Amino acid sequence: MLGVVGYLWDYPSPLHLMAFMRKYRSDAAGTTFTVVQVNGGGYDPGNPHTEANIDTQYTEAMAYPTPHIRRRTSDAAHLLQHRPRAVGHKRLVLLLA
C-alpha cells in the first residue's frame, strides 16, 4: 500500500487517471485510488488540480499494482502562508493569510 498526501484544494481526478493509464500504462488501465479525508479534508473529483493529477498518475504508473491511498488534509486558510503559488506562470510568491 502506498500513501500519497494532498494539501489545499489539490484534488486528483479518477477520470484523468484512467485516461493517463490507458495511454501510458495500458496493462493498468483499470487502476484507481482510495481517498481518506483527514481533519476535515475535502475531496472534489469534479474540480481536479494539475499537481494532484500528476502526483497520482505517476505514482500509480510506477507502483502498479500496489494499492494507493490518497490522504486529504484540511483546507484551512491559515495554511496558505506556507504554500507558494504561481502568479502569472512567471514567478512564485508566498501568499500570506
Residue pLDDT, tens place only, 6-25: 777 788 999 999 999 999 99
pLDDT value at position 45?
Answer: 81
pTM score, whole prediction: 0.70
The values of phi and psi at residue 81, to 5°, are -65, -15
CA 9 to chain centre: 9
**Local mean pLDDT, 10-residue blocks, the chain (97 residues):** 77 92 93 83 83 90 89 62 47 39
pLDDT value at position 80?
Answer: 52
State which residues form the domain around 13.
2-94
Per the structure, the count of domains in the chain is 1
